[in-house]
A = this chain, B = another copy of it.
Amino acid sequence: MAQATIGNSEFDRDTVVTRRVPGPGSDAEPGADHTGALAAYDVDLSARWSILKALNGGYLLAVLGRALGDALAHPDPFTITAHYLTASQPGPAVIRTESIRTGRTLSTGQASLVQTDESGAEVERIRVLATYGDLGALPNDVRTAATPHAMPSYENCLGADDAPDGQPSLANSSEIVGRFDMRLDPATAGWAIGQPSGLGDMRAWFGLADGRDHDPLSLLLAVDALPPTAFDLGLSGWVPTVELTAHIRRRPAPGRLRVFVATRNLACGFLEEDTQVWDSADQLVAQGRQLARVKLG
């Protein structure tokens, strides 16, 4: 297929948010960025970003992040936190945003994703709190001691097609496999053949299948894209995210990302996943941390 571009790709099409024009007397006025302003967006959550039957948490975060980028006075998520309340379903949803504070360089807002259940009741799926800024307006002053983890070249890493049949793997029936151009470091892919390292690590090259380059919104996808580190700990079952926070630190350079995830503390039924996202120019472009429940299978 032809290489997609930022703004014209399946990721862009599947994260479209449409601002509702408010009626008379509403608090929401299009284009208003004042503190306290409310807005609402219609979205159509696509089953194409699902893992088994669950919509990917990073995809959902990107949809919410896109709405906030429209609602707030600044375009880019600097720090965004999502609490996953109930399981989002493919199909129509509404995002309600509140502009909490608009400053000169930073804006803070919250967003809520809601859906209507079978009985017609409104159910909140996700609540988000975020501070936005303009990555393009920041000084290019870097004094970092962070270094990317060593990993094999893309060609020497393992894609979904490399997974053996009958194993828990990326190459199962999950729709999302077709969205990603992801290859795992073989050192963190042993779980697919029943040989997890036990270390709690997951590392991968990460692109979008249609070749779209990354931007701050797709970094929100990247921080929750890899298989759970629990697999590398030798656990099976479900590891639902309770809360995920991402810091977007720079605009990513074109090309694939490297995503490194580590879990060091599995305790009392919960674990953290710490994520670093590096771009093709060896820049640390995003950091993520999530708290997840361990529901052993």
Task: List which A260-278 residues lie within 8 A (CB) of chain B.
Answer: 264-270, 272
Q: Judging by beta carbons under 8 Å apart, are A131 and B267 in contact?
A: no
| A268–B199 alpha-carbon span in the complex (Å) | 33
Q: Judging by beta carbons under 8 Å apart, are A78 and B291 in contact?
A: yes
Q: Judging by beta carbons under 8 Å apart, are A249 and B268 in contact?
A: yes
Q: Judging by beta carbons under 8 Å apart, are B233 and A143 in contact?
A: yes
| A122–B249 alpha-carbon span in the complex (Å) | 32
User: Which one of B85, B243, B268 contacts A81 once the chains associate, using CB atoms below 8 Å?
Assistant: B243
**How distant is A254 from chain B, measured CB to nearest CB, in Å?**
19
Known contacts A100-B127, A124-B100, A291-B79; decide if A249 and B264 are in contact (CB<8 Å): no
Stretch at the interface among A13-21, A47-55, A133-141, A217-225: A133-141
Known: A79-B291, A141-B268, A272-B287. 8 other contacts (CB 8 A): A78-B291, A81-B81, A81-B243, A81-B245, A127-B129, A135-B268, A139-B268, A141-B267
Binary flags per residue of A87-110, CB closer than 8 Å to B gives 1, else 0: 000000000000011000010101
**How distant is A114 from chain B, measured CB to nearest CB, in Å?**
11
| A78–B86 alpha-carbon span in the complex (Å) | 17
Closest 6 CB pairs of A and B: A138-B268, A146-B264, A79-B243, A81-B81, A129-B129, A142-B267
| A250–B267 alpha-carbon span in the complex (Å) | 8
| A100–B269 alpha-carbon span in the complex (Å) | 23
Q: Judging by beta carbons under 8 Å apart, are A78 and B143 in contact?
A: no
Q: Judging by beta carbons under 8 Å apart, are A287 and B265 in contact?
A: yes
- A83 lies within 8 A of chain B by Cβ: yes
User: Which one of B79, B249, B270 contacts A249 once the chains associate, using CB atoms below 8 Å?
Assistant: B270
Q: Judging by beta carbons under 8 Å apart, are B266 and A144 in contact?
A: yes
Give the nearest-CB partner of A289 in chain B.
B289
| A145–B262 alpha-carbon span in the complex (Å) | 10
A78 proximity list for chain B (CB < 8 A): 242, 270, 291
- A183 lies within 8 A of chain B by Cβ: no
A247 proximity list for chain B (CB < 8 A): 272, 289, 291
Q: Judging by beta carbons under 8 Å apart, are A142 and B83 in contact?
A: no
A72 proximity list for chain B (CB < 8 A): none
- A159 lies within 8 A of chain B by Cβ: no
Most chain B CB within 10 A, of A124, A233, A247, A268, is at A268
Q: Judging by beta carbons under 8 Å apart, are A106 and B245 in contact?
A: no
Give the nearest-CB partner of A36 in chain B.
B124
Known contacts A145-B200, A291-B247; decide if A110 and B129 are in contact (CB<8 Å): yes
- A28 lies within 8 A of chain B by Cβ: no
A143 proximity list for chain B (CB < 8 A): 233, 266-267
Known contacts A85-B100, A108-B83, A124-B100; decide if A144 and B242 are in contact (CB<8 Å): no
A110 proximity list for chain B (CB < 8 A): 110, 127, 129
**How distant is A163 from chain B, measured CB to nearest CB, in Å?**
26
